Amino acid sequence: MKKIFSTFTIIISIFSFSQKNTSKFSVTYNKNIETYFLAEILSAGHRRNNKDFELYKIKDCSGYQPIVKKALDKFGHLKNAPISVATAELNDVIMEKYGLGNDALMKSLVYHQEFPSKDWKNDYEFEFFRLNKEQNEEVTLLIKNYLNELSKFYTQEKIGAFFNENKDFYQGAINEYNKQIPAGFTNAMEQFYGETFNQYVILISPMMMWPISDGEGRGIGTDLVLKSGAKNIYEIASPFVKVEKAGQFGYDNQFQARFLSVHEFGHSFVNKEVYKHSEKLQKFKELFEKSNLKETMIKIGGYGDYETCVAEHLVRLGEIQTAKIQKDFERAIKLEEYHLKNNFIFLPKLEEKIKEYNSNRAKYKTFGDFVPQLLEVFENSNIDFINSELEKVKK
């Protein structure tokens, strides 16, 4: 789960190439994901875990998310339906038994053909590096069985008609998000990381609830490997602006849209490289847990383990480098200031270290080639440095 707060305005820069002319990038929505979040709304009263928060989200978000309000008006009578109970049970089980949140379900939803289809785009297997083979197989079966029921729910309750009734709102939200994106950012990301993906897709989700305060929104990253072997990467975005009058759709905040896009896509480049080198981070694991860093990271974003802390730092490093490649130096400076205020204390040393990568791309073809060097920044640290830097942030 990622909570991202906006405290500043990014100045619009003019770039030499337009993202809107890049066919690899698109903004749309996904009926599977919206149907899941509808079922999640209906399931709130049946939850064992986080029930109070789920009910609070409904009460708060239905006041300024029109799709949530319309969904409650049309489908609220299904709160005790089998799909509502099944959705609550699935979320409780994967949390209690496997330590997973609802973000773990997103990959299956993009792997499945859009409802009302019962087919899959490719073979789907759940995989999380902290679970063993047997556990991953158990979660795979749970999710596949659930999606079978969710598909039936979509057809039986004519959910497709609801999306058709609200197609103008969804299109308005797509257009609104499109206005906010940084021109050419996927090109710049590919240049920095030395890696490419087949498609970069923003999936707006007006049905996903996340209480909006001070420009707060939620983004969830996932990916899809096609049968051809090509990979699409996705960012699923909750609204981050309250809809208070006609002509608003929930995405008219340039900073938040840019932050979520570059940030979530960045995880597809970064995470897999960090997890390859767990053995190189054993010293940092101890530092993370014995210093004040673990407690701090949990408070700011729920980043409760050392590998996640490292990945989140490197994704933010990528955000800054992407802005610099685009010659959007104002944005780069604002990002540096913002992330330091939010306790990403290793960024200055990482920015110094990344100069070696940028100046020697003949040796380091990809970001992954250089990750072992970046991990030294964390491994060569100490508790006194970490706690001292965290104290500076408080002042």
Dist. CA 251–CA 258, nearest whole Å: 11
Beta bridge partners of 201: 26, 234
pLDDT at 79: 98
pLDDT of residue 7: 34
What is residue 302's predicted lDDT score, i.e. its pLDDT? 79
The H or E element containing residue 105 is none
What pLDDT score does 215 carry?
77
Would you state the pLDDT for residue 216?
Answer: 77
DSSP per residue over 21-74, as a string? G-TTEEEE--HHHHHHHHHHHHHGGG-SSSHHHHHHHHHHHTTT-HHHHHHHHH
Tens of pLDDT along the chain (395 residues) come to 444 333 333 323 333 334 444 469 999 999 999 999 999 999 999 999 999 999 999 999 999 999 999 999 999 999 999 999 999 999 999 999 999 999 999 999 999 999 999 999 999 999 998 899 999 999 999 999 999 999 999 999 999 999 999 999 999 999 999 999 888 899 999 999 999 999 999 999 999 999 998 777 899 999 999 999 999 999 999 999 999 999 999 999 988 898 889 999 999 999 999 999 988 899 999 999 999 999 999 988 778 889 999 999 999 999 999 999 999 998 899 899 989 999 999 999 999 999 999 999 999 999 999 999 999 999 999 999 999 999 998 87
Residue type for position 58:
I
Contact 94, 76 (CB under 8 A): no
User: What are the residues whose beta carbons fall under 8 Å from the beta carbon of 112, sequence distance 6 or more?
Assistant: 32, 119, 120, 121, 124, 147, 151
Cα distances (Å, whole numbers) of residue 203 to 100, 109, 183: 21, 12, 18
237-261 in b/e form (b: 16+ CB < 10 A) is: bbbbbebeeeebbbbbbbbbbbbbb
Query: Which pairs count as long-range contacts for 382-389, CB under 8 Å and 24+ apart, including other chains?
Result: 382/287, 383/287, 383/290, 383/291, 386/287, 386/291, 386/292, 386/293, 386/345, 387/291, 387/292, 389/345
User: What does the block give as tokens for 305?
Assistant: 């383990």
3-state secondary structure of 279: helix
C-beta atoms surrounding 323 within 10 Å: 25
C-alpha of 323 from chain center? 19
Annotate 317-358 with DSSP letters as a single string: HHHHHHHHHTT-HHHHHHHHHHHHHTT-TTHHHHHHHHHHHH
